[in-house]
Structure 1
C-alpha cells in the first residue's frame, strides 16, 4: 500500500509519521502554507525527506499527474478544508478518499466536532469515504466508533482523534483496504443536520434560549479554537471557556442574571432551567477564573450578562453596569 496524505495541519502528523515508518507513504500534499502550523508541518516533512507537494486549486492536473507518477493506491484527505474540483474527482474516482469525524450523512460539513460537542453527543465515529462532487456525500469504505467524554473540548478531541488516525487507517487496510466494496450512504433524513463552520450566532450564548447544559457544551465546543462561547457585559465581549451546571437556587431571577459571587461557590448565573457556574473567562485583559473576574471588576449579584449577539429584548432592557465600564478604562 502507498498513500498520499492531503492535509493543511500538523494534526495529520501522527498518520504521516506512521505511514512513513511503515514505508507506506507516497507523498504529502499540503494546502495553504501561509500559517505557522502548516509551515512547521512542511519543515517536518522536508527534514524526513518526504515527497511534498503544495496544492494549487487552480492546477488540479498537476495533482492528477503526481498521483499517476507515484502510482499511489489512494489519496487520503485528512483535516483538509480544500474541496477537490469535479475534474479531479472524476479522474481519480475511487482513489480520492476523505476522513470525516461523524456518522455520515449526519453532520456533513466543515466542523462536525463542534456541532457534536455543542449538542452533547456521547459518541460518534470516524468515517472513511470516497470523495464525490458534493461534499461528504461519497460512498463509505470504513467506520470506527469513538466515545466523546463529557469534558472533551474541541481541540482535546481533535488531538485524540489525530493520535487514533494511524490505527484507523491500519485497520481499514487490514480489512481489505482499497478493495473493500463501498457502501452508499443512507438516505438523508430531516433529523440529519449540517456541520457548517461555526459563526457569531452558533458560537454565541443566548441566555434567554439556552439552558445550563447547552451553555456548558457550547463552551467546550468553542474551547480553545473560537476563544470560548461569546457573551457580553456592558458592550464588551467576553468568552466562556469552561462552565459547570450546579445545584443552587436561582431565586426566580431572569436568565443571564448573577445569582451569587463568593467562595466556595464562585460566580453563579441564572439560566432558564437552573444555575451555571462560570469557571473560566477570557477577555481582552487576560484569562480569569469566574470568581476572580467578578471580584476584579466588582460585579454584584443582580447584575446581568447579555447574549452575544445581544438580543432585541436585552437592548430594550438597557443594562446599567457603569461601574464595570469605569474599572475597565
Structure 2
C-alpha cells in the first residue's frame, strides 16, 4: 500500500488524518496556509498515531519534495485546500485533492452552506487530480429536506473511508480505468454575517428555513434582528396555519403548546422552534418570554 503525505489547512481535515493513519497509509501530515492553532490540532492527531508532522506557512515545490523525501512518502493527498493555491504550486509532484462540493475558493463549511442554501439535491465528495484537473473518484450523497450543514457533513464523512481506501489502493490505475471527467470548479462570493440575516417582513418561509439549515451549526444559525437585539435561529418550520391577514413579521400565536409562530408574506406561518440569544438557547416560547414578546406584536 502506498504511503501518503496528507496536506491540510483546516480542522476539517482531522477525519482524513485519522482514516489514513488507521489504514496504515499515512507517511506524514503537512499543515499549510492555516493558523498555528489549527496546525497544533493536526500535530496532536498525528502524534497520537505516531506520524510525523510539519507546519509550513507557504506551499511550494521545495516543501513538497522535502516532505516526500524525509517521510518516504509515495503520493500527496490534500484535504480541501483552496483549489487555485494547489494549481499555482510549481512542482512536478501530482497532488490529489479530496474536495467537498465543487467550489474552488470555499472552506468546507462554506461549501456545505452553499449546497443547502442554493437547494441542491446532492453533494459530492470527490478525489481530483490537480495536475490533470480530472475527477478520479466521486461519492454523492442526497441532501434531504431536514439536513443541516452539520448532518450533511456527517453523511459525506461516512463516504470518506471508502473513497480514501480506493484512492490509496488504486492510485496509479485510476487514471486509466476511470472515464475522463474534468473537474470544473466554481467560485463563491465571500460569506459574512450580513448574508445570514433573515427578514420576517419580506422573506418567504422557504428562504428562512433554508438559510437556517445552511447556517446550522458552523455559522451559528440564521440571524434575526428584533429591535436592537440580534438572535440566532437554529431551527424553524413552516406551519399550515392561518395568519388572519396580519402584516408580515407579526406574532400570530404564542403559547407553551403552540410555541412562537410568526406571520410571513403570502400568508405563510413560520414557527421558531429553537432560538439562541445572549441569555441561552431556548424553544420559541421560552425565547419569547425572555425577549418579552407578545401575540400581535410586529417584530422589526
Unpaired stretches in structure 1, ≥5 consecutive residues: 307-329
Aligned to 1:62: 63
Residues 161-310 of structure 1 correspond to what in structure 2 (within 5 A)? Answer: 161-174=156-169, 176-181=170-175, 182-185=180-183, 194-273=187-266, 274-306=268-300
Classify the secondary structure of the residue corresponding to 1:14: helix
Which SS does the other structure have where 2:295 is aligned? coil
User: What are structure 2's unaligned runs of at least 5 residues?
Assistant: none
**In the aligned structure 2, how far is the partner of 1:252 from the partner of 1:284?**
32
Match of 1:44 in 2: 45
Q: Which whole-Å CA distance do the structure 1 matches of 2:248 and 2:215 have between them?
A: 21
Any idea what SS the aligned residue of 1:261 has?
A: strand
Distance 1:178 1:269, change over 3 A: farther
Per-residue CA shift, 1:155-212, capped at 9, x if unaligned?
Answer: 23223323431111223445x43432353236x8xxxx64344212321113344211
Counterparts of 1:16-31 in structure 2 under 5 Å?
A: 16-31=17-32
Return the alpha-carbon distance in structure 1 between the equivalents of residues 299 and 31 of structure 2. Answer: 43
Check conservation: 2:13, 2:79, Cα contact below 8 A. Answer: yes
Check 1:39–1:99 CA distance in 2 against 1; reply closer, same or farther (3 A cut). Answer: same
TM-score by length of 2: 0.84
Instruction: Tell me the alpha carbon deviations over residues 14-38 of structure 1, each in whole angstroms, 9 at most, x when there is no partner.
Output: 3323322332111111233533x65
Inter-partner Cα distance in structure 1 for 2:76 and 2:59: 18
Residue 151 of structure 1 is matched in structure 2 by 146
Aligned residues: 290
Whether contact under 8 Å (2:250, 2:262) holds in the other structure is yes
Q: CA RMSD in A?
A: 2.7
For 2:96, the equivalent position in structure 1 comes to 97
TM, length-normalised to structure 1: 0.78
Aligned equivalents of 2:96 and 2:252: distance in 1? Answer: 51
- CA deviation after TM superposition for structure 1 residue 286, in Å: 1.4
Q: Which moves more between the two structures, 205-214 or 246-255?
A: 205-214
SS in structure 2 opposite 1:126? strand
Retained in 2: the 8 A contact 1:11–1:159? no
Distance change in 2, residues 1:298/1:140 (3 Å): same
Contact 1:14 1:163 in 2 (8 A): no
1:325 corresponds in structure 2 to none
Secondary structure class of the residue paired with 1:256: coil
2-side partners of 1:199 and 1:246: how far apart?
29
